[in-house]
Chain A
Amino acid sequence: MARRDRSMTVSAYIFLTIFALLMVFPFIWMFSSSFKDASEIYEFRLIPRYPTLYNYQYIFNYSLFPRWFLNSLLIAVITTVSVLFFDSLIGYTLAKFDFPGRKIIFILILSTLMIPTEMLVIPWYIMVRNLHWMGTYWSIMFPGMISAFGIFLMKQFMSTVPNDLIDAARIDGMSEFGIFFKIILPLVKPALATLAIFNFIGNWNAFLWPLIVTSSPKMYTLPVGVAYFSSENSMSWELIMTGAAVSTIPLIIFFLIFQKQIVKGIAMSGLKG
């Protein structure tokens, strides 16, 4: 029996390794191609014979990639900060305040999770046009400033904070905002971290809405930029792969730093609408 178990374990490792290679191979192929020059790009080899950084130099010097990179970063950071602030404030209010309409407000907010973004983009687009927001960062950001899912997550977490703590602070004369910032927020740090990571990734990768609302290449976010750049250069696969790599590298670094929270976050719920 023990011998049978061991051979099963070995075959499990072999199976998992083969699958892991299938999962990472496209990444390896992308990176390896980004170091090839145009003459070598169609060759069937994994390690470039003459590795070159030319593609990266090209992308950073002769394309709008640096600008797209900054656009994406700015948008992802601002929306994430906004989501963290509002979602935790709403989650706190819904969990710890007793007021008429509390239940109905919570249900209404949750019900918006069922509305697909696709249904909202046309009215948003009309709104952006009518308010003359076209071509601004704000137009890309505004629909994502508060997240219903995050509210749900924060409310669940806020419920675990003991009421006595809040009452004690109130008796000590602390302001409501003071309680929120100095007592509540530090206690729900793990939930904040999860929410922050997923919001950042979600905004960094968003495609449909930024594609609709950005009309000039300068305002593109990284994914829209990669799509545009790739179709403009559809003959130079080495440049396309470099562009894809440039948009992926920050996320891989991000992923390696926060892998534990990411895995926990997915397990906790299921995100990335």
Chain B
Amino acid sequence: MKLRQKKILTAYAFLSVPLVFFVFVRFYPMIYSFWLSFTDWDLISSEKNFVGILNYVNIFKDEVFVRALINTLKYVAFGVPAVIIISLYLSLVLNRIKKFQGFYRLLYVMPYITPLVAVSWVWKWMYQQPPIGFLNNLLTMLGFDSQPFLMNTSQALPSIVVTTVWVNLGYCVIIFLAGLQTIPQEYIEAAKIDGANRKQILWRITIPLLNPIIVFLAVTQSISFLRIFTQVYNMTDQGSGGPLNSTKPLVLYIYQKAFMSFDMGTAATATVILFGIIMTITLIQILILNRNIEY
């Protein structure tokens, strides 16, 4: 046997187990989900009736689904700008100091590493009503009214957003810092010599050069807020996404449809819709980042 043939055989031998894995644990399940979304399967009966696009039509008539979809978009709309603006500002300040940079970075990234379930319960407790919750104790001590936070249909979702922003902040700070450190100092020096002030340097040089990173973070953070689940499950009563579905995100809707009502067709339909949203966002990222930008 020739050396080249031997190498090809070795390559395929090395790849055999992983290829089986990718086919059966990634691709097949994905196609299966698509197929399920066209059936009315309830997990128990042996027949899966093909119902065409009926699930896709019906799901938009389901108030809870529409609510969950709107909630999810709200998570993205509130959470992503907040986390990006705060972390960009933090990293700009952090980039200015020389000592203890690593130490601060360390403290900021800690929530990101911690089990989200633990984080959720700590925050849930902080949001409790007086005299239990820390935040309300603080508010009353400072002379303000106590707030319902998670108990109220209009405050609950923002409260969960705050927790999630707190979790994701450190991750974005690290990415921004890495980006800031790749900006050639000469650019900034040259601008200074030309008489540019701090503000001009920030808006004309730093932020445009960070643009690919901002796009990357906007996309990854959007996906992370679209997939929000653990926080809501743990911070709302009995994992319901309450009060009155006001915090229920898509993934919790999927979880309840599939594993509590065993309505697999509808649940799969919702996963396909989630997939569609995520893929659209990813493709937009690829398009923007592949465009050649000149400054």
Partners in one complex: yes
Interface positions of A (Cβ within 8 A of B): 8-9, 12-13, 15-16, 19-20, 22-24, 26-27, 29-30, 33, 42, 44, 86, 89-90, 92-93, 97-100, 102, 105, 108-109, 112, 114-127, 142-143, 145-146, 148, 151, 176, 201, 204-205, 207-208, 211-212, 222-224, 226-227, 230-231, 237, 240-241, 243-245, 247-248, 251-252, 255, 259, 262-263, 266-267, 270, 272
CB distance from B97 to the nearest CB of A (A): 5
CB distance from B84 to the nearest CB of A (A): 14
- Give the chain A neighbours of B229 by CB distance below 8 A: 118, 207-208
Interface positions of B (Cβ within 8 A of A): 7-8, 10-12, 14-15, 17-19, 21-22, 25-30, 32-33, 36, 43, 90, 93-94, 96-97, 100, 102, 104-119, 121-123, 125-126, 131-132, 134, 137, 141, 166, 169-171, 174-175, 177-178, 216, 220, 223, 227, 229-230, 233-234, 238-239, 250-251, 254-255, 258-259, 264, 267-268, 271-272, 274-275, 278-279, 282
Known: A100-B8, A148-B26, A208-B229. 6 other contacts (CB 8 A): A123-B29, A212-B255, A247-B117, A248-B115, A252-B114, A255-B113
- Give the chain B neighbours of A230 by CB distance below 8 A: 121, 234
- Give the chain B neighbours of A30 by CB distance below 8 A: 118, 122
Question: In the assembly, what is the distance between CA of A204 and CA of B116, in Å?
Answer: 10
B18 and A223 within 8 A (CB): no
Closest chain A residue to B179, Cβ basis = A267
Which of A9, A176, A226 contacts B97 (CB under 8 A)?
A9
A-B contact pairs, 11 of them (CB 8 A): A19-B104, A93-B11, A98-B7, A114-B279, A116-B271, A118-B271, A148-B26, A207-B116, A251-B113, A263-B105, A270-B171
Question: In the assembly, what is the distance between CA of A69 and CA of B11, in Å?
Answer: 39
- Give the chain B neighbours of A270 by CB distance below 8 A: 171, 175, 216, 220
A251 and B114 within 8 A (CB): yes
B125 and A16 within 8 A (CB): no
Question: In the assembly, what is the distance between CA of A255 and CA of B112, in Å?
Answer: 11
B230 and A207 within 8 A (CB): yes
- Give the chain B neighbours of A224 by CB distance below 8 A: 117
- With A120-B33, A230-B234, A270-B171 already in contact, the answer to whether A115 and B115 are too (CB < 8 A) is no
A123 and B254 within 8 A (CB): no
A244 and B96 within 8 A (CB): no
CB distance from B71 to the nearest CB of A (A): 15
- With A24-B110, A118-B271, A119-B33 already in contact, the answer to whether A99 and B12 are too (CB < 8 A) is yes
B11 and A222 within 8 A (CB): no
Which of A115, A122, A126, A211 contacts B275 (CB under 8 A)?
A115
A99 and B7 within 8 A (CB): yes
B115 and A204 within 8 A (CB): yes
- With A146-B21, A263-B105 already in contact, the answer to whether A208 and B251 are too (CB < 8 A) is yes
- With A123-B36, A208-B230 already in contact, the answer to whether A226 and B113 are too (CB < 8 A) is no
B7 and A272 within 8 A (CB): no
- Give the chain B neighbours of A8 by CB distance below 8 A: 96
Question: In the assembly, what is the distance between CA of A21 and CA of B77, in Å?
Answer: 27
B15 and A118 within 8 A (CB): no
CB distance from A197 to the nearest CB of B (A): 10
A93 and B14 within 8 A (CB): yes
